[in-house]
Structure 1
Amino acid sequence: MKRSYLTFLLLISIIGALQLSAQEPALSKQEAVNLALENNFGIQVARNQVEIADNNQSILNSGFLPVLSASAGASYNRDDSTIEFPGQFLENGDPRPDVIIDQAEAQRYDSGLTLDYTLFDGLGRFYNYKSLKEQYQLSELQARETIENTILQLLSVYFEVARLTENVYVFKQALEISKDRITRAEYAFEYGQNTKLDILNAQVDVTNDSINLLNAKQQLANTKRDLNVVLNQSLNEVFEVDTVVTFIPSLKLDEYVSQAKQNNVAILQTEKNLMINDYDIKVSRSGYLPNIGLTGSYGWNLNQSAASAFFPGVNNTTYNLNLGARLTWNLFDGGGTAVRVKNAKIAFKNQELLKKQVELEVDRDILNALDFYENRLNIYAIQEQNVITNENNFDRSREQFQLGRITSIEFRQAQINLLNALTNKNLAKYDAKLAELQLLQLTGQLLNVEL
């Protein structure tokens, strides 16, 4: 009866696992990368920064276009006045009467257009425009670095989900074996071939394996939520990941390593900064040269004045056109231009030193990553062989245990050894893959390879 009950529980658990697997859609590595590129917050911010740099490098921000401004104005004035003529008399001898002017209104309207255009500014805006182009390309490299870091983070979490998925399967297998031991121990006890102690030992092992399975499932659920955060999707999104891992051939990796200086994003950024510093020197030198510009204006004025005691009201309309040219040459600015040029040259030298430092650090990091990757591959190969050894040992131990030639404790130890070998192999496999990804990032190929 107990055997039937355990068999029923085992079938229920298998069916439930199959149903859960059927409900969860598969999420391939490439699909995960595409989702991250589309939804990840950090990548979206980086792309917005690139868009800002793109706006800055446009002709509208270059200073090459003229400045056209318009102005208009209107004024209204109303006066009430009394004009007296003390001591003045008319021809008939009467005092000259006062002149009273009420509601004397005057209006003034004006409008104009002013055009200002710089023909030559010592080539400052020319080199500044080139600098903005380089800054745009630098922002693209910075966005690429953000994308590479995000993809590396994404794949790290993705492969952790894959590792835990395989561990869950391993723990399920171990639990099934332990449950089968209970069934066999109960049969043997019924026929007097062992003691109650063997049943209790098997039940203890089932308990431990159940706890291990629950913990693995909890870790898997938590790590899937971590992956959903990177993908910027619902934390309750369910999926199954691809547990197949392939490694890039060593010849291809050697080719990537040989081209690292041409593709590494950190080195490329230092080169862009070096070009920007070079343009800064040239922009600073433009202060030594004159500025030549053109100005032009066109205006319209209407002045409507009220009548006064002595003059009639008038309407005065004026059209005005002005054209001019200017040349300004700052022959001496107190040494400010000279200081700016010197500082720009020092900044350029510092950038050259930084480039050499970055190149040296990248070479070191690549060599370290390459050694680390090869070491992980060797460990993975050893762990694969260790699994084969422990599988053979477990199969022999299970045969011996079923024949009653070894104890349940010895059989359990063989099972634990196999369990550890399988989980260690899973860990070694994904460690080796992550080491490969880090090497690909350093060589600038992370976004160019098939996952």
Structure 2
Amino acid sequence: MKKNSRYRVLLGLVICLSYSSFSQQVVETNEAIELALEYNYGIQIANNNQEIAENNKSVLNSGYLPTVTGNAGATYNLDNTEAQFSNGESTTLNGAESSRYNASINLNYTLFDGLGRYYDYKRLKEEYNLSELQARENIENTITQLLTVYYDVARRSENLKSLKETLYISKDRLVRSEYQFEYGQNTKLDVLNAEVDINNDSINIINARQSLINSKRDLNFVTGNKISQQFEVDTTVTFLLKLNKQELLGQLKENNVTLVQNEKNIAINEFTLKANKSGYLPTIGLIGTYGWNENNNNAASFVAVITNTGLSAGLNLSWNIFDGGGTITRVKNAQINLENQKLQKEQLVLDIERNFNNAWDDYQNKVKIYQVQEENIKTAKNNFLRTQEKFKLGQVTSIEFRQAQLNLLTAELSRNQAKYDAKLAEVFVLQISGQLLNVEL
């Protein structure tokens, strides 16, 4: 019918856009996580920082190894010399040549520095352990970000499916209204209302599809852009309903990455304090040199050539009895920093326990809301099917039919939102309790 040409063009656009969803790769959650772990730039940077910390804790950076240096030199002289000897004789030399050569190998080794390097070495090891925890925190945050975007894609995918079903129902209603108008069973107003509803449904689909495309781009960004351009996600959600609150709360104090990092910072500050106290004690060092020297003297000298080779060794002691109060200040500040870390730990425990309890209650509530929404879907479907039958029999108006249709769509969209909200709430519970990397999502 020509009168519906605009509607058919718009509907054709929606159908053409729909073809792009066929035969697309389905990306599972575990696949997306693996891609993120391998290609996410934030995780790669965290891994590089961990390598730096590993290099720093090496014995090569510990101060326990000696230092060995090599020196060499050469000097050439061209002099005009007038020499007066003790026996009264004298001589004058013009352009007298002389040269000196030397080479040596020097060793320096600190035997004792007040245990400063011992505690510095332990501090570097703890800093490496801290870098591992920072990398783990980065991984947990990235996985949480990934799952947030992944479930957003899943939700929008299901919403698009519901909108397409709504459009299909609206198309059927328009066809029915057109036939009824042709046979004089209704008015032109019913046909126009059906066309308006189809246009609105088509626009909703176009907007929903663009939002889905944007969300997929966000997911691809988190995975380092390693997913093919055309893909779908798994919309199946399984809840870990056997989670035990008390068990998770007990694991929280041992596994929460923020708390464990704080404990490492306490250890680092303890070693820093002890290293600073080493400034009160003397430093004892060993030095050794093996050298070679050759002097080629001019004719005015009694000895023409002097060559020396030899080994020398010794001990040195240095004791900074008073350094103007620098060591005292550093020790006091280190003690204050250590106390701050301990206070921060107490605050963190209270804060994280509160966050866990809030997250747990939020999870329980959202699971219940999802279950209620599932029941609401059944009621909305039943109401729609009854209204649809009455509409076919002419017992309800098109406005009442449309309202039942929209009620069903709203129920489906609310159910989709509740489902993924509940799953994300579960993810947050696992993250706070330190179990996110230990369960199968």
SS in 1 for 2:344: helix
Q: 2:220 maps to which residue?
A: 228
Structure 1 Cα separation of the partners of residues 13 and 82 of structure 2: 110
1:70 matched to 2:70? The reply is yes
Q: 2:49 maps to which residue?
A: 49
Q: Larger deviation: 376-385 or 321-330? A: 321-330
For residues 204-215 of structure 1, the aligned pairs below 5 Å read 204-215=196-207
Give the deviation of 1:3 after TM superposition.
12
Gaps of 5+ in 1: 91-98
Give the deviation of 1:139 after TM superposition.
1.2
SS in 2 for 1:119: strand
Give the deviation of 1:26 after TM superposition.
1.5
For residues 281-300 of structure 1, the aligned pairs below 5 Å read 281-300=273-292
SS in 2 for 1:259: helix
Structure 1 Cα separation of the partners of residues 81 and 118 of structure 2: 61
Amino acid at match of 1:208: N
Structure 1 Cα separation of the partners of residues 89 and 347 of structure 2: 101
Q: 1:445 maps to which residue?
A: 435
Gaps of 5+ in 2: none
1:21 matched to 2:13? The reply is no
Which entry has the higher C-alpha Rg, 1 or 2?
1
Q: 1:317 maps to which residue?
A: 307
Say whether the 8 Å CA contact 1:121–1:289 is kept in structure 2. yes
Say whether the 8 Å CA contact 1:50–1:140 is kept in structure 2. yes
Structure 2 Cα separation of the partners of residues 235 and 21 of structure 1: 15
Say whether the 8 Å CA contact 2:108–2:285 is kept in structure 1. yes
The structure 2 residue matched to 1:399, chosen from 380, 389, 393, is: 389
Amino acid at match of 1:31: E
Structure 1 Cα separation of the partners of residues 188 and 229 of structure 2: 46
Structure 1 Cα separation of the partners of residues 3 and 154 of structure 2: 34
Query: Could you say if the C-alpha distance between residues 110 and 153 of structure 1 is closer, same or farther in structure 2, counting changes exceeding 3 Å?
Result: same
For residues 187-336 of structure 1, the aligned pairs below 5 Å read 187-233=179-225, 237-252=229-244, 254-308=246-300, 311=301, 314-336=304-326
Q: 2:355 maps to which residue?
A: 365
Give the deviation of 1:115 after TM superposition.
0.6
Q: Larger deviation: 437-446 or 338-347? A: 338-347
**CA-atom RMSD in angstroms:** 2.9
Give the deviation of 1:89 after TM superposition.
12
Structure 2 Cα separation of the partners of residues 246 and 89 of structure 1: 111
Structure 2 Cα separation of the partners of residues 89 and 305 of structure 1: 19
Structure 1 Cα separation of the partners of residues 384 and 214 of structure 2: 32
SS in 2 for 1:447: helix
Q: Larger deviation: 347-356 or 320-329? A: 320-329
Say whether the 8 Å CA contact 1:225–1:235 is kept in structure 2. no
Say whether the 8 Å CA contact 1:229–1:235 is kept in structure 2. no
1:121 matched to 2:121? The reply is no
Structure 1 Cα separation of the partners of residues 174 and 204 of structure 2: 18
Say whether the 8 Å CA contact 1:110–1:300 is kept in structure 2. yes
Give the deviation of 1:193 after TM superposition.
1.4
Structure 2 Cα separation of the partners of residues 11 and 196 of structure 1: 21
Say whether the 8 Å CA contact 1:66–1:118 is kept in structure 2. yes
Say whether the 8 Å CA contact 1:122–1:287 is kept in structure 2. yes
The structure 2 residue matched to 1:353, chosen from 343, 347, 350, is: 343
Amino acid at match of 2:192: L
Structure 2 Cα separation of the partners of residues 187 and 89 of structure 1: 142
The structure 1 residue matched to 2:368, chosen from 371, 378, 381, is: 378
Structure 2 Cα separation of the partners of residues 178 and 36 of structure 1: 41
Give the deviation of 1:328 after TM superposition.
2.8
Query: Could you say if the C-alpha distance between residues 252 and 3 of structure 1 is closer, same or farther in structure 2, counting changes exceeding 3 Å?
Result: farther
Amino acid at match of 1:327: L
The structure 2 residue matched to 1:344, chosen from 331, 334, 340, is: 334
Structure 1 Cα separation of the partners of residues 264 and 439 of structure 2: 25
Structure 2 Cα separation of the partners of residues 10 and 207 of structure 1: 7
Query: Could you say if the C-alpha distance between residues 204 and 354 of structure 1 is closer, same or farther in structure 2, counting changes exceeding 3 Å?
Result: same
Give the deviation of 1:190 after TM superposition.
2.0
1:421 matched to 2:411? The reply is yes
Amino acid at match of 1:179: K
Q: Scaled by the length of structure 2, what TM-score is found?
A: 0.92
Give the deviation of 1:250 after TM superposition.
3.5
SS in 2 for 1:104: strand
Q: 1:30 maps to which residue?
A: 30
Say whether the 8 Å CA contact 2:78–2:96 is kept in structure 1. yes
Say whether the 8 Å CA contact 1:285–1:337 is kept in structure 2. yes
SS in 1 for 2:235: coil
Q: 1:430 maps to which residue?
A: 420
SS in 1 for 2:238: coil
SS in 2 for 1:68: strand
Structure 2 Cα separation of the partners of residues 344 and 325 of structure 1: 32
Identity %: 54
Structure 2 Cα separation of the partners of residues 132 and 342 of structure 1: 21
Query: Could you say if the C-alpha distance between residues 251 and 225 of structure 1 is closer, same or farther in structure 2, counting changes exceeding 3 Å?
Result: closer
Give the deviation of 1:229 after TM superposition.
1.7
Give the deviation of 1:367 after TM superposition.
0.6
Structure 2 Cα separation of the partners of residues 61 and 73 of structure 1: 30
Give the deviation of 1:395 after TM superposition.
0.6
Structure 1 Cα separation of the partners of residues 398 and 61 of structure 2: 80
Q: Map Cα deviations across residues 35-65 of structure 1 (whole Å, 9 max, x no partner).
A: 1111112111111111111111110111111
Give the deviation of 1:103 after TM superposition.
4.0
Q: 2:175 maps to which residue?
A: 183
Structure 2 Cα separation of the partners of residues 235 and 103 of structure 1: 81
Query: Could you say if the C-alpha distance between residues 15 and 207 of structure 1 is closer, same or farther in structure 2, counting changes exceeding 3 Å?
Result: closer
Give the deviation of 1:335 after TM superposition.
3.8
Amino acid at match of 2:198: V
